[in-house]
Amino acid sequence: MTGMIDARLAELGVVLPDAPAPAANYVPFVQVGDLVFVSGQISQGPDGLIKGKLGADMDVAAGAEAAKRCAMSLLAQARAACGGDLDRITRVVKLTGFVNSTADFTDQPKVINGCSDFLVEVLGDAGRHSRSAVSAAALPLGVAVEIEAIFQVK
């Protein structure tokens, strides 16, 4: 039987990727009580890493799409943490978004909106969250965006 969140993803035509394996010496998520802390997920799509620097070779719309792909990976990790049942998510508590951008680029919040908007579209009010959106001079592997999340689960 498909859960409500899986049904919503299907309605949107979204297939989540498999939960990405860690790229270094860390775990993809840690659960403490009813909170699941998901490690930073980098921007990657079906064709590989989404690389670029906002303000140089990537515009806000492309950055927001990269952030949406991070959201999909965050949900994939949350699914793994919840034993495959996304309906255990009761709330997205916090996002921290890092944007690979030039020194004069100031639209980091608009880029991270790609993640925030997607989570609200999928989870409704449970997807509303606190957030930080910050610039980074560089990100791992040259990706455009990296986002970490805290989920509350039941």
138: domain CATH number is 3.30.1330.40
Query: Residue 29 domain-assigned?
Result: no
Q: What's the CA gap between 91 and 39, in Å, rounded? A: 17
pTM score: 0.97
Query: Residue 45 domain-assigned?
Result: yes
Residue 115 structural domain: 4-9+40-153
DSSP 8-class letter at 143: B
Query: Residue 132 domain-assigned?
Result: yes
Amino acid at 152: Q
Structural domain count, the chain:
1
Query: Residue 32 domain-assigned?
Result: no
Query: Residue 28 domain-assigned?
Result: no
Quote the tokens at residue 154: 């039941």
- Dump pLDDT digits (tens) for 16-57: 999 989 989 999 999 999 999 999 999 999 999 999 999 999
Give the count of beta carbons closer than 10 Å to the beta carbon of residue 2.
11
